[in-house]
Structure 1
Amino acid sequence: EPKFPGTCGARRQWRLLPPEVPLRRKFPRFLRRSRAGDPDRLFPPAPRFPWKQGPPPSLVELLADYKHRAVRVTQRGVNPTSVEELQLQPGNSSTLQEGQTLWLVNGRYPYTLRFLPAPHSPRRSLLDFFSPKRHLPGEGDEGRPPKRQKAPSPPKEEEEDSAVATKLRQLQETAASAERAKGGAPRLPHGAALGLPPHPRDSWEEHGKLLVFTKEGVVPSAKVAGFDLDGTIITTKSGKVFPTSPDDWRILYPEVPQKLKQLQNEGYKIVVFTNQLGISRGRLRPEVFKAKAEAVVERLGVPVQVFVATGTGIYRKPLVGMWEYLCEKANGAVSVALQSSLYVGDAAGRPPNWAPGHKKKDFSCSDRLFALNAGLLFYTPEEFFLGWATAPYQLPPFDPRELDPQGPLYDPPDAALVSPTPELVVAVGFPAAGKSTFLKSQLVPAGYAYANRDTLGSWQKCVALVAAALRQGKSAAVDNTNPDPESRRRYIECAQDAGVPCRCFLFTATLEQAKHNNRFRDLTASGHVSVTDVVLNSYKSKFVEPSLSEGFAEILRVHFVPRFADARQEALYRQFSEG
């Protein structure tokens, strides 16, 4: 089933056809294109048949094993060939199993091996009863191979078939008994079954930074099949990463409309969730995108609901604001069943060379994280529409779900947080690492003078405030980032001049956690000034871990232990906020 460049991604199928019965071993096989008008390619079982595939030229030798439903692949030409992830060198061979992919010419031309059943197959095995491919939602009876007919076969084969059939009946009876004992699988609510009418007409709604399009005929359902738009449902006709014009798009794979139709037939509601930051930034006019979205839905041929996050905030993936809006306000009276719903997206965190011919890593992991945040089963477009195996992927290094609100506040645990005698505390850590909250809640109530550059305006004013407090016999705390010895030295000298000890409170939040904290502060209107990634990255480049040799009497490592106003705030913090 090759996919050729220059054909708008259309997949032309090449299939291995078994021989006619009863001359099982005498009729030739064919490697055939299923598109009308294309010539068949003869593919005999023996002798070996060198198959020259082009363009561009690449010579491989294929030897079919119909008994085991596999093909022996031998590299003969100079252009690289891969069987799945195994790259062959000239003269090397490997076995291509049914369902696996043969990649020609540096992965540019993928071919998936399929064996079609004969009209009268004389042999049945467990492979005829159980599909070797993982079943995905939307794989109904359409597209499945026709049932095989029983034909005369040798006595030994009949005995084997009888044993297999008996075992299969036993398995089916056991499964049926278990199902009857459970009372049968519950049927999930669907709007039509509940008497809810389909959506009467195409409509757009706007809710702040959220646009919602509902196509005529959309029906609420407990089962939701969610999809990203760009790179999942559509791609550019131009081949560029970003569209060059409003009509620079095409359906990503020919299988997409049929798959969506199958999902609809199985009672799924089809929903698209897309980030379109260009709208809020003025690079994309809302009316232009609306027209494009309507055209895409029309081309798909099924009723679809489209959610569009037009800016930053809770609606932007991977945050689940769009999903929550669907569940709470845009699905009629039907509650969504998470365990029966799914999400498909191309921003999946896949590394470079995640598959032959796919050298670039995913630009983001936001789609996979969106599914994780919402609790949905996740697939990439290749896994869902084409049946590819699960590709490797990487999650972000900071996982907000693992943060322990009962963890230790600081180390060493036996250190005194507040000194009974005057001292100076110098904070060190990323912006958004929790310095201000900690110092204001732990030290300021104990009488410490508080110096903060954001409040006072300069480090010179901070030094002056600290010096004045120490002269008065008070303790003081400096709430600045202080990434390097130079920025810390000026305060250490103040303490030395006043004859008091100087301690360092090193806040251990990482760059990734600081970025997450900063986004959380923006979402909750905490009153903090938003910090750009440029500032955070600048701190990291300047950071030198403090040491006692600088003049500190003690270094306390302070951990970020969050405190939340309510359960909803905690749930928001524990979501991945950036892909």
Structure 2
Amino acid sequence: MQCMLLSTAGASLPLADGRAVIFGRGPESRVSDKKCSRHQVKLVANYEDRTVLVTQLGANPSFLGDRALGRGQSGRLTEGSTLYLVNQKYPFTVQFSGDSNGASSPTLPKANEIDPKETKKEEQREKPKRSIQDFFPASPKKVWLVDTYLRTLPNTSSVKRPSSQDNELSAKRFCPPGSSGGEADAESVIEEKLKRLQEFAESASKCESVPSAAMGSAPCTKNCWEQRGSLMIFTAAGVVAREKVRTKAGLGLILMGASSPPNQAKILYPEIQPKLASLLKKGFKVVFFTNQMGISRGKLRPEVFKSKVEDVLATLKLPIQVFAATASGIYRKPVIGMWEHLCQKANDSITVDKLQSFYVGDAAGRPVNWAPGKKKKDFSCSDRLFALNIGLQFHTPEEFFLGWKPAPFVLPTFNPRTCDPNARLYDPPDASLTCSQQEVVVAVGYPASGKSTFFHKHIVPKGYVYVNRDTLGSWQNCVSACERGLKEGRSVAVDNTNPDPESRKRYLDVSQKMGVPCRCFLFTTSLEQAKHNNRFREMMPANKHATVNDMIFHSYKNKFIEPSLSEGFSEILKIRFVPSFPDTQSEALYKQFSEG
């Protein structure tokens, strides 16, 4: 049987049985009306009763006949009724064809007719690993992906992996377009293998279950969502908490980074589903971690994201827990807030053994051309750094699911773990931070390079007038405040970025006019460390600093000219960033990589 959604404008959309589709404004619907959201409705066809379940997602109402649907409301579209996509406009009807007892979809067959004995033979058969070249045909004409996508990541450290018997799709059984069998044969072969993979995963999840007493706590009885600040958590029915690994075949976690926007979600490789099913049978808990900043920025509605997560897991047919960081802060990878919440509050108080757990993710810091046909570099290194912050072994999806060799990668130039709280604060070491005579001190350095903390700790307590543009509003006000302080007979400390000679000359001119020396304190914090400091501030509850965006950092970098004595300074001191922390928790947070 087939199901088609048809419009009077000539648009058509195939709907597979039981598979959710997000539908709205765009080329598929031929609707360009801005009142129609790109995620206007969710459609789920039911071949058995020949209806389509319509769930409203967009801000403006859709209509089933004369009935308006509010956001989150649902209704059934039958063959005799009409769906108006938005505001009683853009009519669509549904058409079913074929026998309801037939296959549910030509491209996504139902998995219900496999002989368990044959499955057992298939599982036990030795299969060679696929070569990297198998995935890069000379002239690919089709994308061989299932309807939901999981993105994951790489590392060179080794981990005990399942044997080659867990690779359910071998190079011998994979026939890409352009092979000797022809495209039609290739398509039928792929369809059949994907069907068998789905069937195997279903049978694996139903059979050979381990009693909960041996595995961990009792399984979750139903799907559920919860919200903890900027953290969203989905726990699928059947998820079981896992205890600390105590045997070679014991329990652990496979952690996967999910980086794709939800409207682009697809399963990356057909090996993913059977491999995860195999790991679940061996006692692993599977957890996905994803950054979804689009939610806090208003670019992605939570209900759309939730719907897609549920659709992805329905396709996988596996009990999986999902953590989504919706804003910046301690939950956003590579900072380990999501991991800590899992261990402390979302695993039924069962300790996780990190040595037996591992992480798979695709934001791995791989460069351009890291593999044949892979022209683009990884969009970030956040997954690899997330695993590094936690202390987990790490793999890319290609390494773990396909058996490829580790690819090259690049880590950030700044390593927060190397910061030394006992380092020398300034150079030259025989210089004095303050002067008994009246003077002007001009700071030069990136935002978040530690200037304000330094001045308030070492300079202002000595009676210096503190001049800062953040509080005074403009450089003109800063210059005036500097001049007033000198007229009052006090020394002045100017805490601004002052990247170029022009900005510094304003204070040199005032000091020369008043006949006092002017020194420069050059803060040597790098761009990468300044950005790290900025993110650390965001995560601290008592933070009093305004958040700095990347544009300001790079503006400073482009304008920066290193100060010299020839500008008129009497001395230039180089000030290092030497961190100090109120407690061990703050120090541990600072020493995590915070951006990939």
Number of aligned positions between the proteins: 404
1:226 is matched with which residue: 255, 258, 280? 255
Alpha-carbon contact 1:139-1:259 (below 8 Å) kept: no
How far apart are the structure 1 equivalents of 2:417 and 2:554?
Answer: 24
- Whether 1:199 aligns to 2:216 is no
- Whether 1:416 aligns to 2:432 is yes
Closer, same or farther: CA 507–264 of 1 in aligned 2, 3 Å: same
Paired letter, 1:217: G
Deviation per residue, 1:419-461 (Å, 9 max, x gap)? 1211111000111111111011101111111111111222222
1:168 corresponding residue in structure 2 = none
User: What secondary structure does 1:273 align onto?
Assistant: strand
How far apart are the structure 1 equivalents of 2:425 and 2:266?
Answer: 54
1:453 corresponding residue in structure 2 = 469
2:40 corresponding residue in structure 1 = none
TM-score by length of 1: 0.66
Closer, same or farther: CA 289–195 of 1 in aligned 2, 3 Å: closer
Closer, same or farther: CA 548–195 of 1 in aligned 2, 3 Å: closer
How far apart are the structure 1 equivalents of 2:168 and 2:269?
Answer: 19
Paired letter, 2:591: R
2:320 corresponding residue in structure 1 = 304
1:537 corresponding residue in structure 2 = 554
Paired letter, 1:505: F
1:391 corresponding residue in structure 2 = 407
- Aligned 1:165-314 pairs, distance under 5 A: 192-193=213-214, 196-221=217-242, 222=244, 223-230=252-259, 246=263, 249-314=265-330
1:494 corresponding residue in structure 2 = 510
Paired letter, 1:225: I
Alpha-carbon contact 2:286-2:321 (below 8 Å) kept: yes
How far apart are the structure 1 equivalents of 2:370 and 2:136?
Answer: 17
Structure 1 stretches of 5 or more lacking a match? Answer: 1-96, 110-133, 146-188, 232-241
How far apart are the structure 2 equivalents of 1:100 and 1:251?
Answer: 19
**Which structure would you say has the larger RCO, counting Cα contacts within 8 Å and 6 or more residues apart?**
2
1:343 corresponding residue in structure 2 = 359
How far apart are the structure 2 equivalents of 1:319 and 1:536?
Answer: 21
2:23 corresponding residue in structure 1 = none
Structure 2 stretches of 5 or more lacking a match? Answer: 1-127, 141-157, 170-209, 245-251
How far apart are the structure 2 equivalents of 1:483 and 1:249?
Answer: 44
Alpha-carbon contact 2:215-2:283 (below 8 Å) kept: no
User: What secondary structure does 1:477 align onto?
Assistant: strand
- Aligned 1:129-148 pairs, distance under 5 A: 136-139=160-163, 142=166
Alpha-carbon contact 1:139-1:262 (below 8 Å) kept: no
User: What secondary structure does 1:530 align onto?
Assistant: coil
1:381 corresponding residue in structure 2 = 397
1:294 deviates by 1.5
1:560 corresponding residue in structure 2 = 577
1:98 deviates by 8.6
Deviation per residue, 1:441-489 (Å, 9 max, x gap)? 1011111111111112222222222222223332111111111111111
1:500 deviates by 1.6
Deviation per residue, 1:45-92 (Å, 9 max, x gap)? xxxxxxxxxxxxxxxxxxxxxxxxxxxxxxxxxxxxxxxxxxxxxxxx
Alpha-carbon contact 1:190-1:267 (below 8 Å) kept: no
- Backbone CA RMSD of aligned residues: 2.5
Paired letter, 1:388: W
1:402 deviates by 1.1
Deviation per residue, 1:173-192 (Å, 9 max, x gap)? xxxxxxxxxxxxxxxx9963
User: What secondary structure does 1:493 align onto?
Assistant: helix
How far apart are the structure 2 equivalents of 1:412 and 1:99?
Answer: 59
1:113 corresponding residue in structure 2 = none
Alpha-carbon contact 1:199-1:214 (below 8 Å) kept: yes
User: What secondary structure does 1:349 align onto?
Assistant: coil
How far apart are the structure 2 equivalents of 1:466 and 1:304?
Answer: 61
Alpha-carbon contact 1:190-1:220 (below 8 Å) kept: no
- Whether 1:549 aligns to 2:566 is yes
Closer, same or farther: CA 143–481 of 1 in aligned 2, 3 Å: closer
